[in-house]
Structure 1
Amino acid sequence: MITPRFDILGQAISDASRTQMLCELMEGRAYTNKELAAAAGVTPQTASAHLRLLQNAGLVVAEKRGRCVYHRLAGAEVAHALEQLAAIAPADSLHRAQQRKAGGLAQLRSCYDHLAGPLAVAMTRALLDRGMLVEAHGAFRAEPAAQWLKLGVVLPERPGRQPFARPCLDWTERKLHVAGPMGRQILDHALGSGWVKRHRHKRGLMLTAPGRVALEQILGLQCGTLAEAWAV
């Protein structure tokens, strides 16, 4: 019987600087050593040592693009596991650190390849209330509806081996948002349609005026009650 090496993972995430780097990478984008060093408040040399340890633990991978080496999470499974750990972690180690570092990142953000934060939770609640999503036995099931195409979602013709819509516990709200292929399609559509935009110099997303209108029309969300920092 093969025993999972939780000790290796535990060592990798036991340092506050490495934790901050992982939180930065949970957005889904790739960053250079210098960018991650700045996010964690350490020197580039120290960041390199931290990143090697994270790579050895299978949490991070490095990709060379031109003259630069970029680092990203090893995959969606890593992002999902980190999101779940964040939901039960003490606030001082993740929640407050993220809020302070990104200035309100928790309001609207991407968790690797899907939307997260209060807006994502509100969207999920609206989908459940409208019967477009059904929660059963700890999973989500999507029901046919015309509104899916308006959200950029194409439902699969038959169930796959992996769930199409996966519940993900939001680490700031302690409530569910949608992950999985459905969550990825919604985020891609929101970015492509200009409903949300990425900040140029910091993590997180901004909800645009067209995005507010679209979500009010499609899901009945009262986006006018959202924090002003969400809108541009």
Structure 2
Amino acid sequence: MTLTPRLDILGAALADSSRARMLCELMDGRAYTNKELASAAGVTPQTATAHLRRLEEAGLIRATRSGRCLYHSIAGPDVAEALETLSALAPSDHLYRVQQRKGARLKMLEARSCYDHLAGRLGVAIAQALLELGDLARDGAQYRVVPSERWAKLGVTLTGRAPLARPCLDWTERLPHVAGPVGREVLSHALSANWLRRVRGERGLEVTPAGAVALRQILGIRWEGGQCYQN
């Protein structure tokens, strides 16, 4: 018997469009009920139950009971980053065809959560700004965090074991954004400080006026109409 990774199990779990839609819904880092995921995937709750069981058996999601409800979530950050990387390899022409329609604007392309950190155009822009400002440095395939006063302004506490930050290939931008504890704290602080707010019914995040000011003052990023410009 040859010992090889059971990629066939993962492949079979992912090889269904309804399960893929459920995973995409869960990639915003929150937990959802069977009924909510059934609605997102456009299937009945009974069908959703079978799909969720398949995803759980493959180790991609976990279920947690709270009171009378059973909540489903991504199994962990490693799974989320693997799914984001796979998404970057998948065809994405459909996203850009939609975006080319007159007046179309996809919030999830501009800013979204990738499990517990920031992704999309804004996530990539922040990663690039931190590299250019010297707060992050490339260290092989990882990031090295350089202590500075800027981190506190972003809500980041530089404690814990390295690596505090690591690149995560962005699905839509095809460039890395920041994952790891640093990425998690930046997103958490941005939401609590009302720099970002969740878009109802979507995975996307919206930059608030306060967030636009903070981006400009702290990172030199101008955010205008869903686009990033470096000052």
Q: 8 Å contact 1:117–1:170 — kept in the other structure? A: yes
Query: 1:139: how far off?
Result: 1.2
Q: 2:185 is matched with which residue?
A: 185
Matched with 2:146 is 143
Shift of 1:202: 2.7
Q: What residue identity is the alignment partner of 2:125?
A: A
Q: Is the 8 A contact 2:107 2:206 kept in 1?
A: no
Matches within 5 A, 1:137-176: 137-156=140-159, 160=161, 163-176=163-176
Query: 1:110 maps to what in 2?
Result: 113
% identical equivalent positions: 57
Query: 2-side partners of 1:213 and 1:3: how far apart?
Result: 51
Q: How does the TM-score come out when normalised to structure 1?
A: 0.89
- Contact 2:34 2:45 (8 Å CA) reproduced: yes
Alignment partner of 1:210: what SS? helix
Which secondary structure state, in structure 2, belongs to the residue aligned with residue 58 of structure 1? coil
Partners of 1:118 and 1:80 in 2: how far apart? 17
RMSD of the TM alignment (CA)? 2.2
Q: Which blocks of at least 5 consecutive residues in structure 2 are unaligned?
A: 100-104
- What's 2:10 paired with? 9
TM-score, length basis structure 2: 0.89
Q: Is the 8 Å Cα contact of residues 153 and 186 (structure 1) preserved in structure 2?
A: yes
For structure 1, which runs of at least 5 residues remain unmatched after alignment? 228-232
Change (3 A) 1:150 1:136: same
How far is the alpha carbon of 1:2 from its aligned partner? 4.4
TM-fit CA distance, 1:40 = 1.0
Q: Number of residues paired by the alignment? A: 222
Deviation at 1:177?
A: 0.5
CA distance in 2 between counterparts of 1:15 and 1:186 reads: 33
Q: How far is the alpha carbon of 1:132 from its aligned partner?
A: 0.8
* Distance in structure 1 (CA, Å) of the matches to 2:17 and 2:152: 42
> 2 CA distance for matches of 1:65 and 1:115?
27
Equivalent pair of 2:108/2:203 in contact (CA under 8 Å) = yes
What is the CA-CA distance between 1:118 and the residue it aligns to? Answer: 0.1
1:230 maps to: none
- Matched residue type, 1:24: E
AA aligned to 2:150 is Q
Counterpart in the other structure of 1:195: 195
Shift of 1:129: 0.8
Map of 2:47 onto structure 1: 46
